[in-house]
Structure 1
Amino acid sequence: MPPARRLLRVARVLRPLLIAAAIAGVFIAPSAAHATPSVEDLRKQITAKSTKLEAVVEQYNKAREDLKKSKAEAAALEKSMKPLQAQIDAAQERVTAIAVRAYKGGDFAAMSSVLESGSAATAVDRLTTIDRIATSNQREIDAFHAARRDKDARAAKLADLVKSQQKTVDDLAAKRKTITKELDHLYDLRRQAYGSAQETTSTNSNSGGSSAQAPSVSGKAGVAVRFAYGALGKPYVWAADGPGGYDCSGLTLAAWRAAGYSLPHNAAMQYNQLPKISRSQLRAGDLVFYSGLGHVAIYVGNGKVIHSPTFGEVVKVASVDMMSIYGYARVA
């Protein structure tokens, strides 16, 4: 059989197979490429991304707290330099006045009249007195200038620190923005899976809602606990301390701020600032820290805490053992 006829025959045999493969590619491949992830897959993705972003948010909160502290120190230093400069100016004026009086016939004129009367000892005494006054004032001026140089050096260091910390805040804000874009995609998937990107009080059986009653707790701790109950159902909002939403350390900050206490907006900084307690000493109002100081909640009694969990969720009541505990601390 000639080669040309042989090739034609092979083509006729393969043609149906090629058509079938093409059809399979059209109807099967795209389906596999766009397979809808399961609810469990979505949950894992959202948890992983949320955990990553929450760590960035706490870093961001810490950087902002550090920056706020440095700016306050710089302002206090600048304020303290004003009276120092006034003291320098006053001492210089005193030295200048001594010289002016001398040249205008003040003390030196008096000495001249004494010398003319033949009392050299009195003249020497007067000259010594003037020199002593001038020297004393000059030492004072020198001391003030030394203090000024020291404060100028501190001010320069603080300015460099503020600049560095501001860059850290800006870098973390950019990083947060990038991860937030990734979360936006996951929220879209969450809508597909749950019908809503954001958890609500009505869909969250653990949130407590407005019907949840705060336990009877006395004193400042009672104020903080009641505030936490009032925040139930409000959304997790990064770097927020209310009133519309909270992140984890923002909620504990706001609860104790209502009771008259100031806490930094960062879980690790709160832990480091407060007295530590044991599990057996735990009482309502105390703070419970989790995940290597990456998360914090307020204890409300009966083995329960209130916390702002993560993106897409709301402030809710949970078991004190909801995750790995790092430690406990008492505000008041």
Structure 2
Amino acid sequence: MRTRRIVAAVAAVALIPATAALLTSSQASAQSSDEIQEEIDERSEDLEVVIEEYNAKREELDDANELIEEIEAQLPELQAAADAANEQMAEIASTAYTGGNFAMVNSVLAGDPSDFADRLMYLSNLSDAENAAIADALGQMEELETRKTELETLKESADEILSDIEKQQGEIEAEIEALEDDYDDAYAAENPEPDWGDYAGNSTAVAFAWDQLGEQYVYGADGPDTWDCSGLTQGAWAAAGVSLSHNAAMQWDETARISRDELQEGDLVFYNDLAHVGIYIGGGEIIHAPNSTTVVKIVDIDYGGSIVGYGRP
């Protein structure tokens, strides 16, 4: 039967085995960030399996939901047929009563419809038509109850299996979140933020950029607490009263060309086909907002990007 096949498919779930309890704080602190990252990767793979299992079961439940809707649509008609069947049996009982068989009919109709056939023989004095009508009426009532039972079974199975998967997904996500916190702590301990000291120069633009050291890179950001590369240089020079566009290539057009030997604090250094820009701070170093994996920092002017040229606002 279609219902049983769907219920069986919904119930056949291989959940990811539960892992050991999360590490204690002392155990986590004893791990390196690389070791914690390995655990994060492993649990992320487990999570992918659970999510895909969830998606698969959702696909299977589409069939179950269709059948649920189908049964729910049938119930009013089945209920009406069962009500009509009850009325028909009452009419037969009334007729039988007139003929002195009321008690006999009652004794037959009072039992479980499933064993009606075993009791039907006691109504041998009823006509074939009446017996057939009673059998049909009980069949209508039995069909209604069967469909109701199928409906409840489908709903309960669907709710239970999705609940199990969602619970497991939540547990793994909580583990990953805790591991990510441990990773952040371990990475911070392994890579302490440099002490940049105080800026001792005279460039207002550099002083502004210096104050942003350690702030997060965010694509498209221009402050006050997050930056991308051109947003940072734009903000630095705005502090000095100079307006620049929020775009490295446009800033190239808005600045005068200079040579590397002419670099002074505050000049801009352009990289990677004008896709990146930093602000020169002297001593062969720049301040820049590199990418979303790190923060505003000081690096060597030749940190790795391909230099296009230099500009002075």
Give the structure-2-normalised TM-score: 0.41
Give the structure-1-normalised TM-score: 0.39
